[in-house]
Amino acid sequence: MMSIAACLGQNLEFVSIVREVQVGMYSISAYLAAQLIIQIPLLFFLSVCAIGPSGFGLGNWNSEAFSIMWLIHTLVLLNFEFAAQLFAVLFAHPLLGMFQVISFWFASFLFAGFLVPEEDTMWPLKAFVYVSPLKYGTKAMVYNEIHGTSWEGAVRNSSSAEGYSCPGHSFHECFGLTGDQVLESMRRIQFKNLTEEDETLQDCLLLLAIACAFKLLYMIFAIQKSYNLRAVKPPPAQTGEVPRAALETKAAGVDSSLEGSS
């Protein structure tokens, strides 16, 4: 949701960018390249500030998965950052762009797979399922957080279909002994987007592809709006010479006045 501020800042900044590009201070491609070079490291920094103290410091997340969790979370932030930039240049009024950021976040959250299952979503709303950064981000982060861990409250039971049993849990079901069993229990109960297979690479590539699509559209509209206006040209040179066309017009006026008087 912090990308709403990025949308507002980009919209207000782009007004000055268009003006400066028009007067020839720099090209729009130089601005886009410089922006991207600064943007990527700062998003990594923002990500580690978001999940470091709260998740790994206070939440006791799986420290062995810190690097991959950091990458996945940064890719999710990258998607919403680039989407916010696209909406910022698409709409002249900043509020319209900010509303679109909220709508995109809400659609990504609603169709991420853990509220409304993919098989229960009808077209054309199903399109949001395939472009939801939260779908791929949460699936990859939950897998890397839980996979390879062990949990209390369950014991191995070869006679059980799940491979474990929960002694002393007559009213409350436990989720499993191993991380994979917990993932399967969560998928069976509510979170249909989870899987026991390691699809981290696939999810990261899909997140990167969606982010690149938003960035490409943003660059196209930014370039189009930067050069779609009348270029600012210098005023004509001010010299002491009178233009020849003006002299001829003046001479013709004098001749006509002489003829009229005669």
Q: Could you tell me the two tokens for 12? A: 């207000």
Strand, coil or helix: 178: strand
d(CA 102, CA 109): 11
Locate tokens 């509209």: which residue? 221
Length of the chain: 262
- Secondary structure tally for the chain: helices H, strands E: 9, 2
Strands 164-165 and 155-156: antiparallel
Cβ neighbours of 230 (radius 10 Å): 6
Strand, coil or helix: 115: coil
CB 144 within 8 Å of CB 68: yes
Q: 28: closest CA among 43, 13, 39?
A: 13
Model pTM greater than 0.85?
no
Locate tokens 């509020």: which residue? 95
Least trusted range by pLDDT, from 24-33, 162-171, 204-213:
162-171
CA 227 vs. chain centroid, Å, equals 25
d(CA 161, CA 157): 9
* pLDDT of the residue at 216: 94
In this predicted structure, the answer to whether residue 73 has a pLDDT above a threshold of 90 is: yes
Q: Could you tell me the two tokens for 18? A: 């268009």
Mean pLDDT over all residues of the chain?
A: 80
CB 74 within 8 Å of CB 50: no
User: Strands, DSSP E only, in 44-202?
Assistant: 155-156, 164-165
Average pLDDT over residues 73-91: 92
pLDDT in tens, 183-237: 877 777 777 777 777 888 988 999 999 999 999 999 999 888 887 655 556 666 6
